[in-house]
């Protein structure tokens, strides 16, 4: 077995760095806008939380369903890169239309188009990462990718904060013109991301899977993989859009600038923990780290249910960054551990579809629990977080009950 001490960042292939830079630039662009979008919808357009939940839930569910198709296609043709490039390009093309948004229905349309692009790129991109590295580098590679992605979020939110402060509206409110300026500025890194992947990544050719041999995404996939997907659905049903965390922080007294500072803290901690957590999972296994992340999530959501002040929200979002760092890259590496190499595209498509199955009802439930719908007034801002904490705890218990046999190096455990 290779000495793992020699399998550090310097040994990672070029593709990992190119994909990481691409995701960094994409998140600079998207996080400039995404963290302000719930405030724009709620405060400027007057949308109810049920509408915000519908927008986020539908967009993410649509994205996840597209991932099933794109992952399966990438297995069929034995190619990942250009599907990923097309997805990044589509998302970039959708972004400018937010400039004209005058109703929550308009935002729903733009977000759906953007998420279709994300759906097109994500499964092939994750499969490209898994195809590029050795098994005992898998956690490190996905951890580095998540760190780069999240580092972009830190920069993007910082730029948005600077624009808000320069406009004189950073501490109290967000207006339409400032939001439009940020949308236009976000196009620059988005375009750079498309060219970075198109010109920098190298295709890793694998044997294409024929329709008879692997036409079904279910072909050759381990039973453990399906058990894991079922648990992911349980967890995701309580994992509403992060828009509700932002609105809860505002509800607790934080202004727009403070909310962006809170999100910078969250993403910075996420970025700093994702790489080490991924590398650690290569040595001690994935399940223990993922379980720890879900327990942290349950505690954070319980904290948001009991929230009384803005600084509590800020502290809880810092812990939320630890949850992401412990779970996001590790879960993706675990998917690669559980499936054959030629079926990774389909497996990642199904993984993201499982998340999507839960995303729409999760965000709708959160919005209805908070503010109600129709003649029903809802249970208040604590209710969605009690629900999410309970389901996260249940998912963590279920994760301890399935058998994930350790692989030769960095297996699931």
pLDDT, tens digit, 9 for 90 and up, residues 44-56: 888 877 787 778 7
Mean of the per-residue pLDDT values for the chain?
Answer: 82
Contact, 157 vs 36, CB < 8 A? Answer: no
Tell me the pTM: 0.73
Residue 410 pLDDT > 50, yes or no? no
Contact, 320 vs 300, CB < 8 A? Answer: yes
pLDDT, tens digit, 9 for 90 and up, residues 75-133: 887 778 888 999 999 999 999 999 998 888 888 889 889 989 988 898 888 888 888 88
**What pLDDT is stored for residue 284 in this prediction?**
83
Cβ neighbours of residue 323 closer than 8 Å, sequence gap 6 or more = 293, 294, 296, 297, 300
**What pLDDT is stored for residue 50 in this prediction?**
74
Residue 190 pLDDT > 80, yes or no? yes
Residue 64 pLDDT > 70, yes or no? yes
Which whole number is the average pLDDT over 253-282?
A: 87
Query: Which residue would you say has higher pLDDT here, 182 or 202?
Result: 182
Give Cα separations from 238 to 186, 364, 392 (angstroms). 30, 11, 7
pLDDT-based confidence at residue 8 (cuts at 50, 70, 90): low
Cα–Cα distance for residue pair 185/165, rounded to 1 Å: 15
Domains and CATH numbers, the chain: 15-199+221-399 (1.20.1250.20)
pLDDT, tens digit, 9 for 90 and up, residues 217-235: 445 566 788 888 899 999 9
Cβ neighbours of residue 39 closer than 8 Å, sequence gap 6 or more = 174, 246, 247, 250, 256, 259
Residue 375 pLDDT > 60, yes or no? no
CA neighbor of 218 nearest in space, from 229, 232, 234, 233:
229
pLDDT, tens digit, 9 for 90 and up, residues 145-183: 888 888 888 899 889 888 888 877 544 567 888 889 999
């Amino acid at each position: 077995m290779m000495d793992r001490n020699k399998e550090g960042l310097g040994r990672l292939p070029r593709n990992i760095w190119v994909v990481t830079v691409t995701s960094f630039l994409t998140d600079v662009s998207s996080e400039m806008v995404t963290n302000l979008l719930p405030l724009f919808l709620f405060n400027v357009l007057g949308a109810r939380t049920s509408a915000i939940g519908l927008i986020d839930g539908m967009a993410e569910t649509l994205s996840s369903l597209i991932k099933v198709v794109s992952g399966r296609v990438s297995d069929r043709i034995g190619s990942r890169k250009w599907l990923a490039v097309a997805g990044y390009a589509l998302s970039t093309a959708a972004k400018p239309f937010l400039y004209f948004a005058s109703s929550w229905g308009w935002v729903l349309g733009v977000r759906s188009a953007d998420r279709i692009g994300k759906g097109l790129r994500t499964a092939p991109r994750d499969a490209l990462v898994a195809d590029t590295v050795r098994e005992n580098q898998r956690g490190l590679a996905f951890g580095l990718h998540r760190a780069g992605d999240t580092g972009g979020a830190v920069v993007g939110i910082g730029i948005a904060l600077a624009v808000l402060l320069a406009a004189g509206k950073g501490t109290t409110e967000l207006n339409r013109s400032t939001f439009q300026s940020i949308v236009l500025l976000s196009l620059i890194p988005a375009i750079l991301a498309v060219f970075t992947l198109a010109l920098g990544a190298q295709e890793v050719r694998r044997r294409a899977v024929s329709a008879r041999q692997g036409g079904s995404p279910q072909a050759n996939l381990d039973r453990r993989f399906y058990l894991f997907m079922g648990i992911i659905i349980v967890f995701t049903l309580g994992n509403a859009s992060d828009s509700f965390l932002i609105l809860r922080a505002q509800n607790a007294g934080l202004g727009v600038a403070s909310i962006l500072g809170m999100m910078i803290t969250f993403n910075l901690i996420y970025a700093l923990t994702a790489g080490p957590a991924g590398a650690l999972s290569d040595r001690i296994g994935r399940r223990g780290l993922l379980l720890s992340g879900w327990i942290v999530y349950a505690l954070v959501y319980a904290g948001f249910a009991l929230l009384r002040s803005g600084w509590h929200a800020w502290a809880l979002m810092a812990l939320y960054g630890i949850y992401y760092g412990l779970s996001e890259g590790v879960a993706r590496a675990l998917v690669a551990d559980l499936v054959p190499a030629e079926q990774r595209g389909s497996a990642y498509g199904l993984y993201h579809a499982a998340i999507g199955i839960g995303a729409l009802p999760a965000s709708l439930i959160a919005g209805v629990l908070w503010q109600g719908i129709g003649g029903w007034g809802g249970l208040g801002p604590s209710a969605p977080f009690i629900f999410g904490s309970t389901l996260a705890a249940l998912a963590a218990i279920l994760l301890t009950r399935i058998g994930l046999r350790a692989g030769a190096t960095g297996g699931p455990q």
